[in-house]
Amino acid sequence: MTENPNKRKYPRIRVPKSALVAWKIGTQKAVSPVENLALGGLFIRTKNPANSGTTLQLVFNTPQGEVRVRAVVRNVTPGEGMGVAIVSMEQEDRGRLDQWLKQLKTAEETAGNRK
């Protein structure tokens, strides 16, 4: 049985338009909007994405507090952004991220029921 490479382990959730991520590669730093997010990764909107395979340090704020992760660029859409896979984070950061994702999913489902 072959596994579908497009199937994500964690479904991506759209985040508020105000959601930003600070990211750095070595000494290069940037702040960019986040399009979607999951425990396994996120899509970062940026006109100057890093190359595929590049390791990034990410920091973003959630209602539960700051989350710091290490990620690797998995795919690049030139001029639009980059999809990154989260490769490591502290247990506390994972807990804060998981809590925020559950809140976002509940809000998304509630909004969908109102339509």
pLDDT tens readout for residues 57-112: 999 999 999 999 999 999 999 999 999 999 999 999 999 999 999 999 888 778 76
Q: How far apart are CA 76 and CA 91, in angstroms?
A: 28
pTM, rounded to two decimals: 0.86
In 8-50 the beta strands, taken as DSSP E runs, fall at 13-14, 20-25, 28-38, 41-45
Domains (ranges, CATH) in the chain? 13-110 (2.40.10.220)
Residue 23: name the closest of 86, 70, 87, 63 by CA.
70
